[in-house]
Structure 1
Amino acid sequence: MTYDNQPHQAVVPPAVIDPHADVALLTQALIDIESVSGNERRIADAVETALRAMDHLSVHRDGDSIVARTGLGRSERVILAGHLDTVPLPTTPGSRGTVPSVWELNDDGAEVLYGRGATDMKGGVAVQIALAAALTDPNRDITYVFYDHEEVEGSKSGLGRLYRNCPELLEGDFAILLEPTNGTVEGGCNGTIRFRVTTEGRAAHSARAWMGENAIHGMAEVLTKLAVHRPVTTSVDGLDFRESLNAVRISGGIAGNVIPDRCEVEINYRFAPDRTPDEAEAYVAALLPGFTLERTDAAAGARPGLNHPAAAAFVATVGQPPKPKYGWTDVARFSAAGVPAVNFGPGDPLLAHSDDEHVPAQAIRDCWSALHRWLSAA
């Protein structure tokens, strides 16, 4: 007789979602499928299965990214996009912004859904899926894009991979990224660039500091200039983009009795979309003469794109003045490909990635209703 002494791994059943459910309950179902970046396979499987059951859509999968398209021959094509992944789950005991999700009532008696991704951005993804199920005959052709690896370095982006592997599936006239915006259209986004600045010194015993040169002290001029810098606000296509320039990380020193011979500071500059990354670098270099900037990362911003007729019609449907997006989002990828794009989704962006991440159920329903009205109006 033989025995199998190999350890058995628990079999995780496939996740099942109902695209015809109330969109807030659909959000809950998506939150309960844990999908931290790198672990999107199960949620991608569930989304793909739901979409392939919709006869009015053609569906394409690339890794854990999915593109579903109508083919009605309309004169205009709109892209609705959202990412499937989340940042890691919170580690603070008692955090409600985790998995599985929980419902609570706020002080006004309204339903609020807590869980990782509630705002960033499973509420938006639920809106996409529910619209795909409801809009069998929309007034515009629609491309629904669901992609992996948004919350990590850009080289892993599922949307970037789709643009490399099948760019023809992402052709369109206008795109909406369903990132959280509190239900207000946010046009474009700031660009972002990071630098490393290094100062060199000479090590010595701290009891004889005059024998050395303190590299941390040598960084004082850089830190002072960053501290007194006042952010610029630039109007781009009618929206005011506020910039920011900050030291975000510092390191130096090897022991408590040694004068440090090296210090590094990481700088992050969020710049208005009328600048290119090269222009942004030149701006920071002019602010810090005498110091060498080592660029470590950069992503161009995106102009608001609100001058496109589809964008104007959508803003009119939402009924609120548009705002600028200060953070970087994937609207920049669409803009770089020649597709004007805006951000519009349920939830407060300030709650994204927090231990307390949550979204009101009505905010998800209102987002769905606005898009449904716009895409079904005669």
Structure 2
Amino acid sequence: MPVLDLTASSVDLTRTICDIPSVSGDETPLADAIFAAVDGLDHLEVTRHGDTIVARTNLGRAQRVAIAGHIDTVPINGNVPTRDVDVDGQPFIWGRGTVDMKAGVAVQLKLAAELTDPRVDITWMWYDHEEVAAELNGLTRLAASRPDLFEADFAILGEPSNGQVEGGCNGNLRAIVRTSGVRAHSARAWIGENAIHKAAPILARLAEYRPREVEVEGLVYREGLNAVRIGGGIAGNVIPDACEVEVNYRFAPSKDGAAAEAHIRDVLAGFDVEIVDLAEGARPGLDAPLAQEFVAAVGAVPQPKYGWTDVARFSAMGVPAVNYGPGDPHLAHHDEERVPLSQIEDVERGLRAWLTGA
């Protein structure tokens, strides 16, 4: 089993964690290593639920903060193991997971081990299956069986935010849009009906769609509606009788799931639309006193989070939450994923100072 040395620097921990492959569905080796590293720490009460690990202080503080990070990544594409690179004179760690979001997890593990007397009680959460459908998410399963573990006054997700604070997040909807036809030999195409050709109006509507920019509590969220996958046909000489277009809609947190679904069905009226995944967004939550205190302490200017993150889950449970972690969100899932060493150190410094009151 891989071993994590929590006395190492957060930079070195980032390298170690990223070199343990943990594509969604294969998180167990990393979860085992995290559990082994924190289970023996006297100041933490540790719970394991599948490949999700929760470690809590119980010091009787007046307030509790949840700090969470997912341990899975999107598929590897020749970018593990990590390596050190230099970009414009700045040192980076390159490799899958460095941005999304193992550098953030490394910072959290380092602080979880060292902060034995924080000024607030802390619930550390490291969870699996974030990069796939919402129903598989480790926090989804944990919330169903142990909702008490989510009790907090404020939450921080270590999602990449360039070391700044990103409030709330867009919602995320995926839909399958289907067309049907009649199968026939392609030499006699007039006998059949081409289902792929029937999908052309779907693509035209999506290409012509102009996404909105929506201001929510002072932050401007950018929406997006795109075809992300298309499939149909069975052979090179057969007119296809079925075609599917997968559509992804990122919607501002001013809109709930029902409104997002209604919008998709309106845009794609006349077609067979099946909603296959829906996760509502989260409003910024920056009006909470602890959130304002945190933003001031780390010297950040809040920005919106365009991608969906589990701040939405905490928000839905009544816990205001923000994103704060090292790494450029534009490099998340990118084959050139890389994180600057300085951001790892800055985020550790900011969290440590706020959690200790230093």
> So what's the TM-score if we normalise by structure 1?
0.89
How does 1:213-362 map onto structure 2 within 5 Å?
Answer: 213-362=193-342
Residue in structure 2 matching 1:79, options 66, 74, 78: 66
Secondary structure at the counterpart of residue 65 of structure 2: strand
**Is the 2:179–2:242 Cα contact (8 Å) retained in structure 1?**
yes
Give 1:365 deviation, angstroms: 0.4
**Is the 2:134–2:278 Cα contact (8 Å) retained in structure 1?**
no
CA shift in 2, pair 1:207/1:182, >3 Å: same
Give 1:204 deviation, angstroms: 4.0
CA shift in 2, pair 1:38/1:288, >3 Å: closer
Matched to 2:22, the amino acid is S
Q: 2:41 maps to which residue?
A: 54
Q: Deviations over 1:205-244 (max 9, x none)?
A: 4444444433333222222111111001111121111111
**Is the 1:84–1:148 Cα contact (8 Å) retained in structure 2?**
yes
Q: 2:84 maps to which residue?
A: 103
Give 1:120 deviation, angstroms: 1.4
Structure 2: 5+ residue runs without aligned partners? none
Q: 1:26 maps to which residue?
A: 13
Q: 1:154 maps to which residue?
A: 134
**Is the 2:80–2:95 Cα contact (8 Å) retained in structure 1?**
yes
CA shift in 2, pair 1:227/1:54, >3 Å: same
**Is the 1:23–1:130 Cα contact (8 Å) retained in structure 2?**
yes
CA shift in 2, pair 1:235/1:130, >3 Å: same
Q: 1:8 maps to which residue?
A: none
Q: 1:121 maps to which residue?
A: 101
Matched to 1:46, the amino acid is A
Give 1:346 deviation, angstroms: 0.4
Secondary structure at the counterpart of residue 72 of structure 2: coil
The 2-side partners of 1:254 and 1:41 are apart by 37
Matched to 2:63, the amino acid is E
Q: Deviations over 1:80-110 (max 9, x none)?
A: 101122223214xxxxx312x22233331x3
Give 1:149 deviation, angstroms: 2.1
1:39 maps onto 2:26 in alignment: yes
Secondary structure at the counterpart of residue 60 of structure 2: coil
**Is the 1:98–1:355 Cα contact (8 Å) retained in structure 2?**
no
Matched to 2:295, the amino acid is V
The 1-side partners of 2:351 and 2:59 are apart by 18
CA shift in 2, pair 1:61/1:207, >3 Å: closer
Q: 2:53 maps to which residue?
A: 66
CA shift in 2, pair 1:207/1:237, >3 Å: same
The 1-side partners of 2:36 and 2:240 are apart by 58
Q: 1:11 maps to which residue?
A: none
> So what's the TM-score if we normalise by structure 2?
0.94
Secondary structure at the counterpart of residue 37 of structure 2: helix
Matched to 2:31, the amino acid is A
Secondary structure at the counterpart of residue 246 of structure 1: strand
Q: 1:88 maps to which residue?
A: 75
Structure 1: 5+ residue runs without aligned partners? 1-13, 92-96
Q: Deviations over 1:292-336 (max 9, x none)?
A: 311111111111111111111111122232111111111111112
Secondary structure at the counterpart of residue 304 of structure 1: coil
The 1-side partners of 2:47 and 2:184 are apart by 62
Q: Deviations over 1:330-349 (max 9, x none)?
A: 11111121111111100112
**Is the 2:213–2:220 Cα contact (8 Å) retained in structure 1?**
yes
The 2-side partners of 1:130 and 1:200 are apart by 54
The 1-side partners of 2:24 and 2:239 are apart by 41
Secondary structure at the counterpart of residue 195 of structure 2: coil
The 2-side partners of 1:49 and 1:204 are apart by 60
Percent sequence identity is: 57
CA shift in 2, pair 1:25/1:256, >3 Å: closer
Give 1:264 deviation, angstroms: 2.0
Secondary structure at the counterpart of residue 282 of structure 2: coil
Give 1:373 deviation, angstroms: 1.3
Most deviating of 361-370 and 281-290: 281-290
The 2-side partners of 1:88 and 1:224 are apart by 31
